[in-house]
């Protein structure tokens, strides 16, 4: 996975500069979480670049991103809060 400085170039190479994609980023974390704020994935219909730590949290994020891709009005911002115990069935117990 690319570092913070070159992730945009890497994303464009991996996913394709002409393809629509959704950037998912952890903007806040509390308690025990797989990754800290700043972790990201870039999702399009063919691939996912980056990681939020895997598991159910990442699947929830990918599914939400793909729903945005299917929306003709894609381009909007959306915030999803996930409590890792009850929402994501992950033992971390924190929230993102």
At 92 the pLDDT is 74
Question: Quick one: CA torsion of 9, 14, 20, 25, rounded to 10 degrees?
Answer: -70
Number of domains in the chain: 1
DSSP letter, residue 95: B
Confidence of residue 64 (pLDDT cuts 50, 70, 90): very high
Sign of the CA dihedral with 55 first, then 37, 75, and 48 last: negative
Range of the domain at 89: 1-96
Phi and psi at 22, nearest 5°, equal -120, 130
- State the Cα–Cα distance between residues 74 and 66, nearest whole angstrom: 10
pLDDT tens digits for 8-61? 777 777 666 667 888 899 999 998 888 899 999 988 888 888 899 888 889 999
């Amino acid at each position: 996975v690319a570092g913070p400085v070159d992730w945009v170039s890497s994303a464009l190479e991996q996913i394709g500069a002409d393809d629509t994609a959704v950037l998912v980023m952890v903007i806040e974390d509390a308690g025990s979480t797989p990754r800290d704020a700043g972790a990201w994935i870039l999702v399009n219909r063919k691939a996912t670049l980056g990681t939020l730590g895997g598991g159910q949290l990442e699947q929830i994020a990918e599914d939400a991103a793909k729903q945005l891709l299917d929306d003709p009005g894609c381009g909007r911002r959306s915030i999803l809060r996930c409590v890792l115990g009850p929402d994501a069935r992950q033992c971390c117990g924190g929230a993102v």
